[in-house]
Amino acid sequence: MEKAKRRRNQRIFTYTDFDRFTNWEEQAQSLMTSAQVRPTFLAERMANIRHRRQERRPMDSNITKTRLVVWEPSKEFKNSHIVNTSMQSMHIMADLGPAGKLGLKENEYVLCTIRADSSGVITLKPDFNNDGESYRLGTEGDKREVWHIYLENASAPICTEEKEREQRMYRDLYNRHKDYLNSLVVQRTHIPCLYFPVSAQGYEYDNLYVHFFLELPNSWSTASFQSLSGVTQTCRTRTFGKDNVAFFSYPFSFESFFRKEDESEASLPLWPVLYFKVLSLDFWQRHRTEGYGYLVIPSTPGYRRVTCPTWRPLQTGTVAELRRFFIGGAPELEDISDVRIPSTFKGDRLSRFGFRTQATGSITFVLNCLQHARAFVDSKTLKKRRQTVLDQLGGHSELGSVSNVLEAFHRARKRMQDARESLPQDLINTNASFISESSA
């Protein structure tokens, strides 16, 4: 073009997605050695799509224990995690054939490729090199010419006004996207809790274990993989003071989420309840129910050590006691939530008349609770602001009280002066003489 004094010619042209062109040497590898092999129309379209690298390792294979961190990743490794993204490509071509043989396919060479994906990222390959060394492109044929290529961004620079307008547009776009993301965030309370059934004491039989589960009220939820029930190990008792104590120290943790649907002030949230049942197992594999109990998860965060008493249903008569001693059978609750108010109860009063129970031992729990909520931060900030305002109002009120006292004093003094001036003059002189005589 320099020799042609920048006159238009047919040596520089482009190929887009609508043209049937694919840089076969760059984007595809032929499995055949024939030079006549050309890509199909489907191969041309699929060449512009980046594929996720498929893991061909069997599912039951062990994970490698070495090289967990790749310090020098290859280009293929970097691109292996990219999600399939449809791309649009444009190839800037050059016809480097002789002057009389223009338009032949074998004389077409790719100068650079511009790609744009769906997210708006534009990629140029190779990069601009107007300030560096040139790219060398060798042709095939009898002459074996070598061309030096320089890529330069010839676009006019953006003016200051357009740049500021573009920045404002992006700023507004980011703010709207931020508001949209904030609207998707659920205003809920996140409560991680870790508790230990530490010990059990005061029960009739040995080899105790605890079966427990957590009940979530309405507006509470948890992750699908979260387990809300469990069974401790069987533990033999040992004498500790005057009681036989079984030490479990069985850790159990859960995370629950609370979302307040009713924003009225009269509605108070119900907290999760932990129901548990204490059982015993002897040498002959006889199971006995030793007691039922429940524990309401504390509404305040921190460390707690709580002892919960238990009871068990009682069936009167000698036969029931013999059955419990020899066979191990004992009355059980059909629903363990009957220890408290049953979850299916909808009335105002719950009658347990005629239901006989017997108090047994107790279970000691250690709880460590956390609470995460956006409302805590907002309330803390509001409290600080309110405190600052109250301090300011307090200072103004003190100043106001002093000024009120002074004004009242001046009004009283003025009333006394007005009253003195309104009295007769002889009465004032008589009072003055009386005071002088009494002082004498």
> Can you give the pLDDT at residue 58?
45
- pTM of the predicted protein model: 0.47
> Can you give the pLDDT at residue 209?
93
CATH homologous superfamily of 191-372 equals C2 domain (2.60.40.150)
- Distance set, CA 356 to CA 45, 310, 312, 331 (Å): 79, 14, 9, 11
pLDDT in tens, 390-416: 454 444 444 456 667 778 888 888 888
pLDDT in tens, 356-388: 899 999 999 999 988 877 666 555 555 555 554
pLDDT in tens, 261-312: 655 555 567 888 999 999 999 888 888 999 999 999 988 888 989 999 999 9
Count of CB atoms situated within 10 Å of the CB of 384 = 10
Residue 258 and residue 189 in contact, taking contact as beta carbons nearer than 8 Å = yes
> Can you give the pLDDT at residue 80?
62
Cα angle 248, 253, 256; round to 5: 145
Q: Which two tokens stand for residue 201?
A: 């004491």
> Can you give the pLDDT at residue 423?
66
Closest CA to 204 of 306, 307, 324: 324
> Can you give the pLDDT at residue 362?
93
> Can you give the pLDDT at residue 39?
65
Domain ranges of the chain: 12-155, 157-185, 191-372, 385-439
Across 314-396, the runs of DSSP E, i.e. the strands, are 357-369
Residues 74, 68: Cα–Cα separation, whole Å: 15
Residue 19 and residue 89 in contact, taking contact as beta carbons nearer than 8 Å = no
Closest CA to 48 of 20, 76, 89: 89
What's the mean pLDDT when you consider all of the chain?
76
> Can you give the pLDDT at residue 396?
44
Show pLDDT as tens, one digit a residue, over the chain (440 residues).
Answer: 445 455 566 788 888 877 766 555 455 555 555 556 666 667 666 665 555 444 444 444 445 555 566 777 777 766 665 555 677 888 888 888 877 777 788 888 888 989 888 777 888 888 888 777 888 888 877 777 888 888 888 888 888 898 899 889 988 988 888 887 776 655 566 677 777 788 899 998 999 999 999 998 888 888 888 888 999 999 999 888 888 899 998 888 888 888 776 555 555 678 889 999 999 998 888 889 999 999 999 888 889 899 999 999 988 888 888 888 888 878 888 888 888 887 677 888 888 888 889 999 999 999 998 887 766 655 555 555 555 444 544 444 444 566 677 788 888 888 888 877 776 666 556 554 544 444 44
Q: Which two tokens stand for residue 203?
A: 């029960």
> Can you give the pLDDT at residue 397?
46
Give the ranges where 39-159 is alpha helix by DSSP (H). Answer: 41-46, 75-79
